[in-house]
Structure 1
Amino acid sequence: MRQNVAPTKTNLLSLKSELKFARLGYELLDQKRNILVIELLNLVDQAVDSQDRVDRALSVAYESLEAAALAVGKRKVLTISSAVNIETKVDISRRKIMGVSLPVVDTSFVEHGPYYSPMGTSYWIDSSLQEFKKALELMGRLAELKISIIRLANEVRKTIRKVNALDKIAIPELTESVAFIQERLEENERDMLILMKMVKQRLENRKE
């Protein structure tokens, strides 16, 4: 119960208003928490799948690179790799869920070619380039998901603390304070009623 609160009708109305606001805030925060948790679980599932995709893509890319090295030799692959001129562009935009800003990563490539002659090369050279580009795109998506999970998890923790503070502290204290003031006001009204009856009785006795 709040300390040093005078049992007046003004304070009673004020506390009732605060209590109503606290209950509304609790309901809204509880809904926010549920939405955030659902979205967080969804992103975790996506991240698990995305991690598997990245692992598979990198595995395929390195297998293609090894095949290229076997086909034309490591020195040739190194020479060709130094001639590769591909610009990687990573655009980061934003989206919001319940006020939480989450990144959206878009990875694209601009090829400035031809950067090496196809003569004396192997299919595996082009294959490894394409596979590594796919892996980079998937890694961008995985980074987006991981950052989003961290931010949502932090927001869920903050929201849970606020919900618990309202549910365990603020609302019970306000409820107790309202009940205390109502009880005191009712006692005062009863005392006043008794006093008025006594005064009335004395006046009647004097008239007699």
Structure 2
Amino acid sequence: MAKIKLTKNELKKQKDDLKRFKRYLPTLQLKKQQLQVEIRQVEQKQEEKRAVQEQIKQSLDTWIAVFGEPVDLSALVQIDSVQTESGNIAGVDIPIFTGLTYKKISYDLFETPLWVDEGLEQFKSILAIDVEVEILNEQVKRLSDELRTTSQRVNLFEKVKIPEAQENIRTINIYLGDQQTAAVVRGKIAKNKVVKEVAE
């Protein structure tokens, strides 16, 4: 603990600091709770997206199996660009998925099976979910980083700053009280000397 001045000015400063810490702490605790809730919601969204993706994959696999003609759909679909916009949760900037554009890849309609067109749409859905899950991962990472920082601040205020300010106030009050008592005692001693001198 840093050495403090045992003065009335320092006492006022410590009381102001304590008041400020106690005012900011609830805000930090609220932000921490909000971040925890948001992280849980994003993780829930990820699970839902993966479940949808798995259903699409199964239906696509069934479809391909029925027609029995293996076609590499990944060669026919390539992502051109990913569109995102910026969002803000509890003061944290996060990317939000808005869509994908695909490169135009032509293929011979006579050489490919009839189901390929529908299969490509399904495959695009799978790719879009992959990209969206990646963006959700980035959201979780950013929110988790902010949660860690906020938790550290909450702990700093709760376990260090507030107790330290309270202890400093107590120490200064004791010192100032002792000084005041000593001043009263000195005053009484001086008064007794004056009374004795006047009496003599």
TM-score range (shorter-chain normalised) is 0.7 to 0.9
1:94-117 CA deviation, whole Å, 9 max, x = no partner?
A: 212122221112333457587543
Q: TM-score, normalised by structure 1?
A: 0.82
Measure the CA separation in 2 of the matches of 1:174 and 1:111.
Answer: 62
- Tell me the equivalent position of 1:137: 128
Return 5+ residue gaps in structure 2 as ranges.
none
**CA gap 1:109/1:116 in 2 versus in 1, 3 angstroms:** farther
**Aligned residue identity for 1:163:** V
Return 5+ residue gaps in structure 1 as ranges.
none
- Tell me the equivalent position of 1:28: 27
SS in 1 for 2:58: helix
1:55 Cα deviation after fit: 1.5
**CA gap 1:85/1:138 in 2 versus in 1, 3 angstroms:** closer
- Tell me the equivalent position of 2:45: 46
| Residue 92 (str. 1) matches residue 84 (str. 2) | yes
Q: Which runs of 4+ in 1 moved over 6 A?
A: none
SS in 2 for 1:101: strand
1:120 Cα deviation after fit: 7.1
SS in 1 for 2:115: helix
SS in 1 for 2:4: coil
| Residue 63 (str. 1) matches residue 79 (str. 2) | no
Query: What's the % identity of the aligned pairs?
Result: 21
Q: In structure 2, which of residues 180, 187, 193 is the aligned counterpart of residue 189 of structure 1?
A: 180
Measure the CA separation in 1 of the matches of 2:197 and 2:27.
Answer: 63
1:52-131 counterparts in 2 under 5 A? Answer: 52-68=51-67, 70=68, 73-74=69-70, 77=71, 84=76, 88-109=80-101, 112=104, 115-117=107-109, 122-131=113-122
What count of residue pairs does the alignment treat as equivalent?
A: 199
Please, what is the CA RMSD of the aligned residues? 2.6
1:192 Cα deviation after fit: 0.7
Measure the CA separation in 2 of the matches of 1:161 and 1:170.
Answer: 12
1:104-134 CA deviation, whole Å, 9 max, x = no partner?
A: 12333457587543x5764422221111111
**Aligned residue identity for 2:192:** Q
Contact 1:87 1:112 in 2 (8 A): no
Q: In structure 2, which of residues 167, 171, 194 is the aligned counterpart of residue 176 of structure 1?
A: 167
Measure the CA separation in 2 of the matches of 1:81 and 1:177.
Answer: 67
Q: TM-score, normalised by structure 2?
A: 0.85
**Aligned residue identity for 2:97:** V
1:64 Cα deviation after fit: 3.0
Measure the CA separation in 2 of the matches of 1:180 and 1:81.
Answer: 72
Contact 2:88 2:94 in 1 (8 A): yes
1:86 Cα deviation after fit: 6.8
